Structure 1
Amino acid sequence: METLIAEFLPDHHLPYPIIFLRMIGAMICGALVGFERERRDHAAGLRTHILVSLSASVFAIIAIESTRMAVLDTDQARIDPLRVIEAVTAGVAFLAAGLIVFSRGQVHGLTTGAGLWLSGGVGLALGFGFWAIGFVAAATCFVVLGAIGKFMDRKVRRDIRSPPETD
């Protein structure tokens, strides 16, 4: 019975409220990044960005906690949290690359892919406990996507209304 209890309440470094707070923070920041993409009706929107950020946070928390596990504290087992960052980066980059398409001489999905990649980074930051980095990155992305997106929309509308002159 003791083994069963230990399985669900392992000896860990971070208290569960901190772990859950980091996960919730990652979800909120992922939502900030994904909100603008959702508003513009892009393929990877609010839910996708939340899930990417949350999953990256979970991987970071597991990396932190695994360095404290007695079963992995041997000469044969080496734990390197940086490998988790590399794996998350590669995984999110794979997802983002799937969104990028070249059609009719134009590239589409690049900004959404970059937003997904940032969501992964934000999730890692919050999972590792770098709150300020995660929140500032998410807020900055929200501002960049919103403000520059509005500027670009106005420029596109202006270009459509006044086509270039021909000789």
Structure 2
Amino acid sequence: MQFIATFSLMQFLDTVISLGAAFILGTLIGAERQYRQRTAGLRTNVLVAVGSAAFADLATRIGFPSDAMRVVANIITGVGFLGAGVIMKEGLNVRGLNTAATLWCSAAVGSCTGTDMIAEALLLTFIIIAGNTLLRPLAAAIDRIPLNERYSEVSYELRLTCDGRLVEQTRNALIEALEAADYPVSDVTEDRSYSEEGCALVARLVSTSVDPDELDEVVNKLKRQPGVTYVTWESSTQD
């Protein structure tokens, strides 16, 4: 019986403490995520923390310190793929980055407990929860500050609708007007489902530093183009 020959009560108790600590700390982190109805909630954070702790504990028991470091490095990579699963892109906006980062931190907590660094895991758990709760009012306050389009790192789109028979003419006028204002165009997409006789054009700008007044001038210029019925521009923050 290989199990009896290799079993050590002290090592077993050490594993129980490591995995138990990972379970408790993962629960604390996950409870906050679950309360806010995030994609990765209580169970996911617990499993990530306990799984990371189990792998780190296994490497510590049967290998050398260098083996434990290699296992932790692979945990980081593996959880990175897991975090990618909770990131969702909606148009120009990205959701789930904070949840993915929290999963990554849960793996760090588990790795600490698995290598018997429980005090460090406690400190890290406190910092994670504080970052997700105490910093929320500050983030909300910053979000309420009016956006300065000229200096903020944002994406810009100029949208117009025109007569479907004048699409090529309008597209050329759109690109020329933007380049004349020193705003090179990344690409122009066309949507003919807008109406039976009309067409929508969307131009995405390369520049991240934009003067709103200059874009307004471009809009006013395009409004005077034959066949153009509507022109506007909008910005969205990059994640």
TM-score (norm 1): 0.78
How far is the alpha carbon of 1:118 from its aligned partner? 0.4
With over 3 angstroms needed to count, the CA separation of the structure-2 counterparts of 1:154 and 1:67, relative to structure 1, is: same
Report the CA distance shift for 1:39/1:66 in structure 2 as closer, same or farther (over 3 A). same
**Aligned-partner Cα distance in 1 for 2:34–2:138:** 18
- The equivalences for 1:31-46 within 5 A come to 31-46=27-42
Structure 2 Cα separation of the partners of residues 14 and 128 of structure 1: 15
1:141 paired with 2:140, answer no
Change (3 A) 1:32 1:128: same
In structure 2, do the counterparts of structure 1 residues 103 and 141 end up closer, same or farther at CA, with 3 Å as the change threshold?
same
Query: Which structure exhibits the higher relative contact order, with contacts defined as CA atoms closer than 8 Å and separated by 6 or more residues?
Result: 1
Residue 130 of structure 2 corresponds to residue 132 of structure 1: no
- Gaps of at least 5 residues in structure 2 are 147-212, 214-239
Q: Select the structure of larger CA radius of gyration.
A: 2
Which residue number corresponds to residue 57 of structure 1? 53
Equivalence for 2:234? none
Tell me which residue corresponds to 1:86. 73
Deviates more, 1:7-16 or 1:101-110: 7-16
Q: In the aligned structure 2, how far is the partner of 1:86 from the partner of 1:107?
A: 27
Q: Deviations over 1:82-140 (max 9, x none)?
A: 22111111111100011112213211000000000000011000000011211100111
TM-score scaled by length of structure 2: 0.56
Equivalent of 1:118 in 105, 110, 123: 105
**Larger relative helix fraction:** 1
1:108 lines up with 2:95 in the alignment: yes
Contact 2:56 2:111 in 1 (8 A): yes
Structure 1 residue runs of 5 or longer lacking an equivalent are 69-78
What is the CA distance between 1:44 and its match in structure 2?
A: 0.1
- Give the superposed CA RMSD: 2.6
State the AA in 2 paired with 1:90.
T
In 1, Cα distance between the equivalents of 2:10 and 2:114? 11
Residue 73 of structure 1 corresponds to which residue in structure 2?
A: none
Aligned length: 149
8 Å Cα contact 1:33/1:141 also seen in 2: yes
Answer 1 or 2: which has greater strand percent: 2
CA contact (8 A) 1:32 1:139 kept: no
Deviation, 1:15, is: 2.4
